[in-house]
Amino acid sequence: MTSETAPSALLDLLTAQRTRRETADVLQRALRGETRSLSVDLSRLDEVAKLCDLAMQETYPDYQVPPASCWRMLESSGMDRWDSLASARGFSSAEDLLQVAGDLAILLGAADVNPPEGWIYTEPGTGEVHRGRTALFIAVFAMFQSGVFSADPNDPLRVDVDALIRLEEDEIAASFGLDRSVHPKWLAAMTGHLRRFGEVVGMRPDVFGHKGTLRPGRLLVAMLKHVEDGDLKMSTVFDSLSDALAPLWNGGAQEGDLILGDSWRLESGDDEIIVPLHHAVQALAFNLIEPFSWAGIGTSGFEELPAPSDGIHAGLLVASGAIRPEDAFPAEAQRTELRAVSSALIVELAARLRQILETDADGLPLPCIIEGGTVRAAAKLAMENPEAFQKVRNILSTGAVFWAPKGA
C-alpha cells in the first residue's frame, strides 16, 4: 500500500495536526487519572519553566536564541563547519543551495540515533574530540564532506540513493573510527538503517526524483510550491517529511503494507488506539528552518508542530516531578504513554515560559525554547537526579527499534 492508495484516515496519522491532537488527548486522560502507567502534576511545570529560563539566560543572555537543529551540532567547539563548506563550494541558485543543504539536513536527521556506548570520535583535520550525539553528527558530516554518500565523483557534496544502498559496514567503521569486533551489532544496525534510508527515498521518485537522480534534498525544492508571500508553514514541512519518509522509522504501528512511522498502539479503556509521535520528523523539520532561510524563505506556524517526545524531555519532566511513572508497570506498557504525555506537557511548558518572559509564540518559538531552555535544563537536572533519567532510559529502551529516541 502506498501513500497514494492508503485511506485518508491512516494518512492523517502522519500529520502534525493529528499528532498534536492525539498527544494532547493522552495528557487529558492522564489528568483525569485514566492512564495506567503514570500520573501528572501540572503544578511542577512552573518550576520547570523557571529552570528553562535560567538555562536560557546562562547561554543566551540577550535571548537571541537560534533554533534547535543539526546546524547547532555542526557549530561545536566554535567552528561553523557548514558555513566553511558552503563558502568553499558556492551555490549557483537557491534551488542548488536547497538541494545540497537539504541532502545534508535530511541525512543527519535519518542518522540521528543513539551512538555506540562510550564512543569517542576524533575529528579529521582538527583533532577535536567529540562524544555522544555531537560526535555522531560531526562524523556523518565528515562522511558527507568526503563524498561517501555521493554517486557522482565530480560532485561529492550530495546524497544519492545509489550510494546509500551500497554502503558497507567497513565504510562506516572506518569513518567513525570504530572497531568491528567491539561494536559489531551497532555497525550492522547503522549500516542497515542508512541503506533503508536509501530505499525509502528510492520508493518516492515523485518527491525525490529529478532528471534521473534521486536525492533527499529534492524534497525541499518540491516544497517551494507551497511558499506564499515568501513564507512556508511548518505544518506543511512536517507533513511533507512524514509522508515521504515515514517508512524509515519502522517497528511501530502498521496497517497492511503502510508503515506509520513513529506511531504506536495504546490500550485506551476497552479500545486500542494508534498514537502518532513522530519525534524524528519534528526534529527533521527544525533542521530545515535555516536552509529555507538561507534561500530567502521564511517559516512560520511553529506552534502547530508536536513537541519532542524523546528521553531528554521525558527525563526533564520525570526528574522535576511533573510526570510520575508507576513502577509496577513493565516498560512496554509505559513507553507510549510516557512519550505522548511528555510531548503534550512540553507544549504547556512552552506556554508558561513565554508567560514568564512576557512574549508569545512568534517571539519565542518552540525550536528556540528547545535549544535555549529544555535541553539545557534537562542536562542540569540529569547531573542532580541521574536516577530519574536512568528510569526514563529503562522505560524507553527497546532493542527491537534501532532508531527509537531514547537517549538522555
In percent, the amount of the chain with pLDDT more than 90 equals 89
Report which DSSP code applies to 309.
-
Contact 169, 180 (CB under 8 A): yes
The cell for 404 is 527509537
Average of per-residue pLDDT across 124-153: 95
Q: What is the pLDDT of residue 277?
A: 97
Question: How far apart are alpha carbons 233 and 218 in whole angstroms?
Answer: 18
pLDDT of residue 31: 97
pLDDT, tens digit, 9 for 90 and up, residues 292-328:
999 999 999 999 999 999 999 999 999 999 999 998 8
pLDDT on residue 11: 84
Task: Dump pLDDT digits (tens) for 224-246.
Answer: 999 999 999 999 999 999 999 99
Helices (H), ranges, 60-93: 70-73, 81-89
Question: Mean per-residue pLDDT for 378-383?
Answer: 96
Per-residue pLDDT tens for 189-205? 999 999 999 999 999 99
- pLDDT, tens digit, 9 for 90 and up, residues 35-84: 989 999 999 999 999 999 999 999 999 999 999 999 999 999 999 999 99
pLDDT in tens, 171-181: 999 999 999 99
CA dihedral over 108, 109, 115, 120, signed as positive or negative? positive
- pTM of this prediction? 0.95
The yes-or-no verdict on residue 387 having pLDDT over 60 is: yes
* pLDDT (0 to 100) of residue 3: 56
Residue in the block written with cell 513513529: 262
Each residue of 314-324: pLDDT tens digit?
999 999 999 99
Packing angle between helix 169-176 and helix 184-202, nearest 10 degrees? Answer: 120
Q: 234 burial class (0-12, 13-18, 19+ CB within 10 angstroms)?
A: buried
C-alpha cell, 259: 508503515
Q: Are the C-beta atoms of 158 and 149 separated by less than 8 Å?
A: yes
pLDDT of residue 139: 98
How many Cβ atoms sit within 10 Å of the Cβ of residue 99?
25
Domain edges within the chain: 8-396
Say how far apart CA 263 and CA 14 lie, in whole Å: 8
pLDDT tens digit sequence for 3-13: 555 567 778 99
Q: What are the phi and psi torsion angles at 49 (to 5°)?
A: -60, -40
Maximal C-alpha separation, the chain: 61
Position 224 scores a pLDDT of: 97
